[in-house]
Structure 1
Amino acid sequence: MARQQKNKHSSRGRARSKNGRLSVLGRHILFSLFEAQEPLGRKDLLKQSQQQGYSSSEINDEITNLLSRGLAKSKGKSRLTLNRAATYYTGFLEMKPAGFGFATDLRPVGKKREKLEDPYISRSGLLSARHGDKILILVNTKNHRRNPEGEVLGIIERGSQNLTGFYYQEGSRLVVYPEDPRFPFHVVLDSLPHSDTKLDDGDAVIVSLESDSSSPSQVHGQIAEVLGNPHRLEVQIRMIVEKYGLPTTFSPEALREAKQVEANPGTASREDLRDVLHYTIDGEDAKDFDDAVGVVQLSNGYRLYVSIADVAAYVKPGSFLDAEAYERGTSIYFPNAVLPMLPEELSNNLCSLIPEKDRLTVTAVLDFDRQGVVLGKRFCRSIIRSSKRFTYKTIKKIIVDRDEEIRRHFKPYLTPLKWATKLAEALQRQRMKRGSVALTITEAEIQLDENGSVATIEAKQRSFANQLIEEFMLAANMAVAETFAERGNELLYRIHEKPDPDKVKEFGSIAQAFGLEPEGAEPTPQWYNSLVTQVAGTPKEFILNSLLLRTLQQARYSPDNAGHFGLGAPNYTHFTSPIRRYADLIVHRLLAAFLLAEDKSSKKLPPVRGRSLKEAGLHLSERERNGISAEREMAERLKCRFMEPRVGERFKAIISFISDTIFFVDLIDQFVSGVVHLSSLTDDYYLHDWKRYRLVGDITGKVLQIGDIIEVELTEVDVLSQKIYFAPTS
């Protein structure tokens, strides 16, 4: 048996050497060198590898191969170390349901390198790595793929050891099939938990995985918790929480710190702005009020006060509160629940700018001329007293609808709101003149009834009331970023890099299918806006804006300022929401240090405690993406529940994308998307014209194209996989 095992390793090593891939043994040796963090003797490597079933001759041959390829280096006569000049990276494995994956959040091992696209990792390059694992990879940057190719050398740290899935008894076998398709394996249970809980086939469970497995397709584990019927809403919420690793509680230490926080931890050094009229404008259901604003008319323009909750005064670096807020990174909002970044004692009370309560704030005082051009800016630690809590609906009735009854009720605020309106309009004009992308992405608003069932799915209402407060927040964020950029001080910027050229090129073909003519070849903000204008007010507007959105890069946090393409802003940061975004809390701390340095007439900022800005930027960008994914999945699950009883009903839909075997539709009167299988088109055999993004009937010549409006019938809803299926009615 031992000889057979060695032969298996040896043949695998030779086969992979031919196509440039490393053998399993080679990967094992390189990972051992990485883990050691210091030169290893050949004897140590021989001993480790022989335990894996390799012979000394195989090991020595592989070491010679690694040295000749420049992947390892000799240190003295008998020791080896990793050659850190080679393209080694650490990252996290992002698996795809088809069985391959990509390495994300790359960090080079050794010298600094240019940014790479996420490396593709084939099924054979995975070893036993699973989705979410932190891995060491070797990247081949010389292939001709859009993404470079990598191969896993070893697993630095396992991702979540708990998975949600569905339990089944298959003969004598007990298995759990993971709900998340990014885990393309089944979990074999050695036994059932000793519990009185009833367990039926198809029940949702949380399964704890064994830490290691030699087979990537079969893993052993134990049931940690039985959740029950997966169709129940509370079970689906729990599955999302587990899937995305969302913390639902705070530690006793963090809660104790929140209760012990002083209501006013020092106000002597603050500027008293309680005589400046401030008010908040938020949604109907908002509970945490980060920001309050006030506008005063000047002889030559306007003065804008943007006062933001001074969370940094309460949440100190090194505290339990701070550590747990950093790990969360952001608050997460579901239609029926909020997972806050900070305990409610802070988020809904001490830090929240509640009307008629003295609150500690950091204020941006910005002066503008009547055209919205900045004349001056300063920042101060302050104390304010918000006078009124407005909602977007109320502000809309006052400044857009000009509702006489509402205006009489809020008469003392009419003049300040008129100034705010004029300033917001001027700021919007300046932003568009500067070059801001004006995509119109309508969001769905899901309303639940008292039983937790979906009552309605409607377009989230937006008006100039929303735009007013957004313009003020954008102005404050840019002012902070500009101040730091002008002084050359470090900051955690919110950057949005230029669009992906390949995605823009692909969109050009789609634009032709729509019969659109982009303005120029270079994808500038004006290029985007010209396309949006061409479909404004038509049924194609939503589809085109969604497709354009896919060409844009994701905004992220970084100390390296690359500007913000979408806003046309060379300097931008997040400053206005420290209750719900940790990135803003970092910016507040940097701004507090900046103000302290100003008071001491020093150009050099004092050091800021905590992690490096680069490390924080990577972590917080990942936490943001994770939260957005969880919120989107919750919305998709609720949409499925909403549509499930409507099987057999007919709807008007617009074709949003076409592929070889399916096409996607978006319902026009509901914010629901679904799939149509080409096999359901029974009037003809349709051929996919991929160059023109359309289907053509082989006999009739009938054309179905992106942007076409058709009638469809709802045929199936799979709540568990979040899939909705339709078929054309004719």
Structure 2
Amino acid sequence: MKAVLPVSQREITRILNKPLSLEDREEVIGFTIDGETSKDLDDAIWVEPNQAKANISVHISDVSAFIEPGSNLERNALSQVETRYLATKNDPMFPHELSEDRLSLLEAQRRLTITVRITIDALGDIEKVSLHRTHLVNLKKFSYTSADATLKDASSPFFCELRYCEAWAQKLAWKRKDVGAIGLSRLGGISLDEEGRILSTPLYHSQQIIQEFMILANMAVASLAEQQQVPLLYRNHLASDIAPKSKELIQTLNVLGLPELVRQKLQSWLKPATYSPAVMGHFALALPAYTHFTSPIRRVADYVNHHIVKAVLIDKTESPYTIDELQDIASHINEKRSQIKERREEHFREKRLNQTIKVLQEKSQIKTLSDQEFSQILKDSIKVSQLDKLVPEALWRIEEKTIKLVDLYYLIFGEYNKYENKQLLTSKILDYLSENPVHATQIVQMAGSINQTTVEYIEKKTASGKFAFWSILEGETTATPGIAANKQTAKHQGNMLLIESIFDQSLIPPQLINEDYLQDMVETEVREESKAIKEVVSEPEIEELELSGVPEAAKLNPVGYLHEIGQRLKRKKPQYVYHQVGLQWQCCCRIEWLGENIVETLAINSSKKEAKNMASLKAISLLEEDMIE
């Protein structure tokens, strides 16, 4: 790259005073839709009806009419690569005086433009593409908010125009979906951007219109250039060797549904998008050729492509850049963007960690966190070894059933400074998962995805025809399998046991389980399960629950209180056995000591949770007497 020299005010003033040459330029109309605070308006749109077809025009600021190849302005733009948007200001690729005035498609101001005109049929297929030198007067500057409001108000000016644009944008979106595109789509309720990255905030309806039209224009220019073998800065996006085919990929992502799982899968399946003079296709958009052309004020790749397209495809002359120069520019942009991304991610990581430390120091703030904020604080607290401070809030969210699965993942695999916090969470999380066994499987899948490993299973069948599952994560499994008459239920139970073994650090290598041992374990489990059911069923009568001697703290949280008593008495943790009786659940609570049941209580209720609480309260009553003695 050539050395960067400062841009003089004289050079800026010369451009500002340069008269607009409208010779051989078609006059066009359109309107812009951008963010609330946007001042550098690159593009405008317009749609004209054509029977069952539509002529879509994307008018783009003709930056190349003012900025010359080899100028200091171009060198600065190539050095910076793109406009950077900060919290309180922006650092423009071109000086503010140009990017927000002479180059920007301001409302009611005449501006030089390049128009990409595309005719599409009723199915959204492209029939014709043409490029034109034009000049535009922007009829209206919409923000996303004002455009969305106009779409809902039939009395507003531009209502019909915007609704017409919305209808054709929807056709384009359907067309992309039909060919297997995942970019700018929703999968499993999660929104993805152009390159398959998860969007943290939902898109406005009008924002989706603009994005569909910009993809259409960029695709049309890339197709024209490829057909005529014109080297551009193509935008290539490739999948990794382990990525499934697009339809299988979409099906998998729809099944996953959880943002963290989807994010991890996409990171392992998709490579970062890059620029190159060679055409390699765009995986996320399912396109054979794609480029960036619609943002020449904000991205240097678009600016370079404007010079090439005007010279070769419109003026029929030679490209102002050689292949070697284009390759150097592409490599520079790719490297610079990678550095910017790393710095941005590092900045946000530091900012989040500082915010996490601040929140953890102020306990009152923890209760005010939204679900998304709590998940982020929970994730970051692991990095600063302060997970314990979030335990009370995590317990409350588990009790209220507002906890997210990704939160449970962090709580299960995180490290604690205080053993009692881990023990308390173990009891609560296992109780929660016992009522939602499918969540155990989702958490184990999440662990495999985040750690970029495959969750494997050992599957066997018992002599009685039941299914037995051992779950294997990172080369370790459980001593006993999950057993059930239903295959999926057995799998969930196997994952429940895996999570329990992670808590108590009792995982073993799967090599320790041989075929004889497998069958032995399965049959033993079946016998014990059968024995437990018979014992529960044969219980003569369930005693009434006597609460007079039970402390108030125990009534509020019977299972947790019983667990604490067991720790104080150095007894094994309670064992719970359930049996369905009609429409109700029977729960037997057993506490062993030296191989014998020292406490065994029974309760029945319409829900498993309440039956467990009642059985625990009975056990507490007996153990309280034991402690008094």
Q: TM-score, normalised by structure 2?
A: 0.57
Q: Name the structure 1 match of 2:281.
A: 563
Q: Secondary structure at the match of 1:324?
A: helix
Q: Name the structure 2 match of 1:620.
A: 333
Q: Which amino acid aligns with 1:260?
A: R
**Cα 1:301/1:680, change in 2 over 3 Å:** farther
Superposition RMSD in Å: 4.1
Q: Name the structure 2 match of 1:428.
A: 173
Q: Name the structure 2 match of 1:465.
A: 206
Shift, 1:696, TM fit? 8.0
Q: Secondary structure at the match of 1:465?
A: helix
Distance, in Å, in 1 between the alignment partners of 2:72 and 2:136 is 28
Identify the match of residue 222 of structure 2 among 474, 478, 481. 481
Identify the match of residue 646 of structure 1 among 339, 359, 383. 359
Q: Which amino acid aligns with 2:326?
A: L
**1:394 maps onto 2:146 in alignment:** yes
Q: Deviations along 1:551-592, whole A, 9 cap, x unmatched?
A: 200100001111111110001000011111111111100111
Identify the match of residue 541 of structure 1 among 259, 267, 275. 259
Task: Looking at secondary structure, tell me which structure has more helix per residue.
Answer: 2
Q: Name the structure 2 match of 1:634.
A: 347
**1:574 maps onto 2:292 in alignment:** yes
Within 5 Å, give how 1:523-538 maps onto structure 2. 523-536=244-257
Q: Name the structure 2 match of 1:354.
A: 106
Shift, 1:442, TM fit? 5.9
Q: Name the structure 2 match of 1:291.
A: 43
Shift, 1:637, TM fit? 3.6
**Cα 1:535/1:319, change in 2 over 3 Å:** same
Q: Secondary structure at the match of 1:678?
A: coil
CA contact (8 A) 1:284 1:391 kept: yes
Distance, in Å, in 1 between the alignment partners of 2:342 and 2:47 is 37
Q: Which amino acid aligns with 2:203?
A: R
Distance, in Å, in 1 between the alignment partners of 2:292 and 2:45 is 16
Q: Name the structure 2 match of 1:306.
A: 58
**Cα 1:532/1:254, change in 2 over 3 Å:** farther
Distance, in Å, in 1 between the alignment partners of 2:406 and 2:416 is 25
Identify the match of residue 279 of structure 1 among 31, 36, 44. 31
**Cα 1:549/1:396, change in 2 over 3 Å:** farther
**Cα 1:677/1:550, change in 2 over 3 Å:** same
Q: Secondary structure at the match of 1:387?
A: strand
CA contact (8 A) 2:119 2:127 kept: yes
Distance, in Å, in 1 between the alignment partners of 2:141 and 2:68 is 28
Shift, 1:669, TM fit? 12
Within 5 Å, give how 1:179-190 maps onto structure 2. none
CA contact (8 A) 1:273 1:382 kept: yes
Q: Secondary structure at the match of 1:363?
A: strand
Shift, 1:641, TM fit? 4.4
Q: Deviations along 1:65-124, whole A, 9 cap, x unmatched?
A: xxxxxxxxxxxxxxxxxxxxxxxxxxxxxxxxxxxxxxxxxxxxxxxxxxxxxxxxxxxx
Shift, 1:311, TM fit? 1.0
Shift, 1:631, TM fit? 2.9
**Cα 1:283/1:266, change in 2 over 3 Å:** closer
Name the larger-Rg structure.
2
Q: Secondary structure at the match of 2:272?
A: coil
Shift, 1:390, TM fit? 0.9
Q: Which amino acid aligns with 2:7?
A: E
CA contact (8 A) 1:281 1:392 kept: yes
CA contact (8 A) 2:375 2:406 kept: no
**Cα 1:307/1:674, change in 2 over 3 Å:** farther
**Gapped regions of structure 1 (runs ≥ 5):** 1-246, 445-457, 505-522, 599-603, 707-730
CA contact (8 A) 1:656 1:663 kept: no
Q: Deviations along 1:305-339, whole A, 9 cap, x unmatched?
A: 10111111111111111111111111122223322
Shift, 1:372, TM fit? 1.1
Q: Secondary structure at the match of 2:157?
A: helix
Q: Secondary structure at the match of 2:294?
A: coil
Q: Name the structure 2 match of 1:554.
A: 272
Q: Name the structure 1 match of 2:162.
A: 417
Q: Name the structure 1 match of 2:499.
A: 703
Q: Name the structure 1 match of 2:120.
A: 368
CA contact (8 A) 2:240 2:268 kept: no
CA contact (8 A) 1:439 1:529 kept: no
Distance, in Å, in 2 between the alignment partners of 1:335 and 1:669 is 31
- Fraction of identical pairs, as percent: 25
Distance, in Å, in 2 between the alignment partners of 1:668 and 1:644 is 22
Distance, in Å, in 2 between the alignment partners of 1:581 and 1:273 is 26
Shift, 1:547, TM fit? 3.2
Distance, in Å, in 2 between the alignment partners of 1:354 and 1:318 is 27
Q: Deviations along 1:159-188, whole A, 9 cap, x unmatched?
A: xxxxxxxxxxxxxxxxxxxxxxxxxxxxxx
Q: Name the structure 2 match of 1:130.
A: none
Shift, 1:614, TM fit? 1.1
CA contact (8 A) 1:265 1:313 kept: no
Identify the match of residue 492 of structure 1 among 204, 220, 233. 233
Q: Which amino acid aligns with 2:86?
A: F
Q: Which amino acid aligns with 2:174?
A: R
Q: Deviations along 1:207-227, whole A, 9 cap, x unmatched?
A: xxxxxxxxxxxxxxxxxxxxx
Distance, in Å, in 2 between the alignment partners of 1:545 and 1:530 is 15
Q: Name the structure 2 match of 1:11.
A: none
CA contact (8 A) 2:478 2:498 kept: yes
Distance, in Å, in 1 between the alignment partners of 2:25 and 2:294 is 19
Q: Which amino acid aligns with 1:678?
A: E
CA contact (8 A) 2:93 2:297 kept: yes
Which is further off, 373-382 or 470-479?
373-382
Shift, 1:295, TM fit? 1.0
Identify the match of residue 74 of structure 2 among 290, 312, 322. 322
**Cα 1:701/1:527, change in 2 over 3 Å:** closer
Distance, in Å, in 1 between the alignment partners of 2:478 and 2:358 is 33
Identify the match of residue 590 of structure 1 among 301, 308, 320. 308
Q: Secondary structure at the match of 2:292?
A: coil
CA contact (8 A) 1:489 1:605 kept: no
**Cα 1:418/1:705, change in 2 over 3 Å:** farther
Q: Name the structure 1 match of 2:415.
A: 678
CA contact (8 A) 1:496 1:555 kept: yes
Distance, in Å, in 2 between the alignment partners of 1:303 and 1:559 is 29
Task: Looking at secondary structure, tell me which structure has more strand per residue.
Answer: 1
Q: Which amino acid aligns with 1:435?
A: G
